[in-house]
């Protein structure tokens, strides 16, 4: 078996949704042994989130869950029961890391907070992800991705000037928090390797997201002395259709305009007086777009992209999701991978977020709910099969 970067690191994941599972996924994909703790019969809430194969809801085949939980093991455990809490503490005593995103009030009520767990494992690294952090007046408040966008100030600046703010799709703040959580965990493990001491990591998705766009918010208002307003989100000169998709053009300067004329093999456009300056070209944008669109109709995204690269002309293909997986760059690097799942079947997944030459990323499927109960409770903790039957009967697992 090929060695992975995080071989020997044991992680307990006590999470639902996106931020915590994404943090633990990164650790699992690079070799950590991640055991995901889920409520019996219910599991992580993302199991109910689509899309599903053939649009048929199935807790074992959620597209979101399958992506966020690759390479993990799953145990069912009811933390509302005293026996469940005892089992969790036994697992935590053997773990290097606990990743949780339940919130400080919930971890305290359940007795799975850092102060409690460090009593059974002084070297434990506990990574807590939440919307607002583990302290302060907002610490027990819940938030969606949209809430964090709004409170960061970034939402205020996105969209058309005469309309309400507009955010981009996907749960970006959750993924940013998960990424920072994984980074913080690795830093804490590095420090523990030298000192032997564990620590509690506090990751706020609100604070994490603020660090990704400082130019758009606080720094600009401090240094510029003004609050930026919404000015619209436009691709200069538009996204225009070609033979197999769309191409985005950007040519505000004279050099770029002349390069575009060379690209289209239309040098005569440079001599037309009505197109002489950027302002004049902007006034005739409709005419120019019609010329470009007519030239593009027999061209593919790839051939236009590479021809523009030769001229150092800013231009990008705009593929749809079906086309992205087939882009030559992705094919050459083997980025997308196929993974088999016993319920969802064989599906294509995004690959490694970064490459490690000697200890590579690994592709592996998401677990079924409670699939690894026997491995964890019997093989690792020493319970018997009869014990498991009793725990199952009592609703503990």
pLDDT > 60? residue 215: no
Name the strand (E) or helix (H) holding 265.
none
Q: How do residues 144-198 score in pLDDT, each as one tens digit?
A: 999 999 998 888 888 888 888 888 888 999 999 999 999 999 999 999 999 999 9
Pairwise pLDDT comparison (122 vs 211), residue with the higher score: 122
**Count of alpha carbons within 13 angstroms of residue 186, beta-carbon side:** 16
Name the strand (E) or helix (H) holding 199.
strand 199-204
Q: How do residues 34-92 score in pLDDT, each as one tens digit?
A: 999 999 999 999 999 989 998 999 999 999 999 999 999 999 999 999 999 999 999 99
CB atoms within 10 A of CB 335: 15
Pairwise pLDDT comparison (152 vs 371), residue with the higher score: 371
Task: Give Cβ neighbours of residue 190 (< 8 Å, ≥ 6 apart).
Answer: none
- pLDDT at position 3, please? 87
**Count of alpha carbons within 13 angstroms of residue 163, beta-carbon side:** 8
Position 224 confidence tier, pLDDT thresholds 50, 70, 90: low
- pLDDT at position 253, please? 83
CA distance 92 to 122: 10
Name the strand (E) or helix (H) holding 20.
helix 19-29
Pairwise pLDDT comparison (321 vs 97), residue with the higher score: 97
CA distance 10 to 28: 9
- Mean of pLDDT values over 122-142: 95
- pLDDT at position 329, please? 94
- pLDDT at position 158, please? 83
Pairwise pLDDT comparison (239 vs 394), residue with the higher score: 394
pLDDT > 80? residue 246: yes
CA distance 190 to 193: 5
Percentage with pLDDT > 90 across the chain: 77
pLDDT > 80? residue 230: no
**Distances 112 to 106, 165, 200, 259 between C-alpha atoms, Å:** 9, 39, 12, 62
Vertex 264, ends 263 and 270: CA angle to 5°? Answer: 90
- Does the CA dihedral 86-109-25-124 come out positive or negative? negative
- Does the CA dihedral 14-15-19-22 come out positive or negative? positive
String of DSSP letters for 306-373: HHHHHTT--EEE---HHHHTT-HHHHHHT-SEEE--TTT-SEEE---SS--SSS-----PPPPTTTTH
C-beta separation of 370 from 75 below 8 A = yes
| Ordered structural domains, the chain, with CATH | 10-215+367-393 (3.40.50.10540), 239-321 (3.30.1540.10)
- pLDDT at position 251, please? 76
pLDDT > 70? residue 217: no
Per residue in 267-297, is it b (16+ CB within 10 Å) or e — as a string? eebeeeeebeeeeebeeeeeebeebbeebbe
Tokens of 169: 């799709």
CB atoms within 10 A of CB 378: 14
pTM assigned to the model: 0.91
Task: Give Cβ neighbours of residue 315 (< 8 Å, ≥ 6 apart).
Answer: 247, 248, 249, 250, 304, 305, 308
């Amino acid at each position: 078996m090929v060695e992975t970067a995080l071989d020997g690191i044991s992680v307990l994941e006590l999470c639902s949704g996106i931020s915590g599972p994404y943090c633990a996924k990164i650790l699992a994909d690079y070799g950590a042994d991640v055991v995901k703790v889920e409520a019996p019969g219910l599991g992580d809430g993302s199991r109910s989130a689509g899309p599903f194969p053939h649009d048929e809801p199935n807790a074992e085949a959620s597209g979101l869950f399958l992506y966020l939980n690759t390479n993990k093991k799953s145990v069912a455990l009811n933390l509302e029961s005293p026996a469940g809490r005892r089992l969790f503490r036994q697992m935590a005593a053997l773990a290097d890391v606990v990743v949780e995103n339940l919130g400080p009030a919930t971890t305290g009520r359940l007795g799975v907070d850092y102060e409690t767990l460090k009593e059974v494992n002084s070297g434990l690294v506990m990574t807590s992800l939440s919307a607002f952090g583990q302290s302060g007046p907002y610490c027990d408040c819940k938030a969606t991705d949209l809430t964090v966008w709004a409170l960061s100030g970034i939402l205020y600046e996105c969209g058309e000037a005469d309309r309400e703010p507009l955010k981009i799709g996907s749960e970006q703040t959750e993924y940013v928090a998960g990424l920072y959580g994984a980074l913080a965990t690795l830093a804490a493990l590095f420090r523990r390797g030298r000192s032997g001491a564990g620590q509690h990591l506090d990751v706020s998705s609100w604070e994490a997201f603020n660090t990704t766009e400082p130019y758009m918010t606080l720094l600009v208002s401090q240094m510029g002395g003004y609050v930026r307003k919404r000015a619209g989100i436009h691709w200069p000169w538009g996204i225009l259709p070609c033979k197999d998709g769309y191409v985005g053009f950007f040519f505000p300067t004279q050099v770029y305009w002349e390069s575009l004329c060379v690209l289209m093999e239309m040098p005569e456009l440079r001599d037309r007086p009505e197109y002489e300056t950027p302002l004049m070209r902007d006034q005739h944008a409709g005419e120019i777009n019609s010329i470009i669109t007519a030239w593009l109709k027999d061209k593919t995204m790839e051939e236009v992209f590479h021809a523009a690269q030769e001229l150092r002309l800013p231009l990008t293909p705009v593929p749809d999701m079906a086309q992205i997986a087939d882009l030559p760059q992705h094919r050459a690097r083997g980025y997308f991978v196929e993974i088999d799942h016993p319920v969802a079947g064989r599906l294509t997944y995004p690959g490694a977020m970064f490459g490690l030459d000697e200890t590579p990323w690994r592709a592996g499927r998401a677990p079924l709910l409670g699939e690894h109960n026997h491995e964890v409770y019997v093989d690792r903790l020493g319970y018997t099969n009869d014990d498991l039957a009793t725990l199952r009967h009592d609703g503990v697992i």
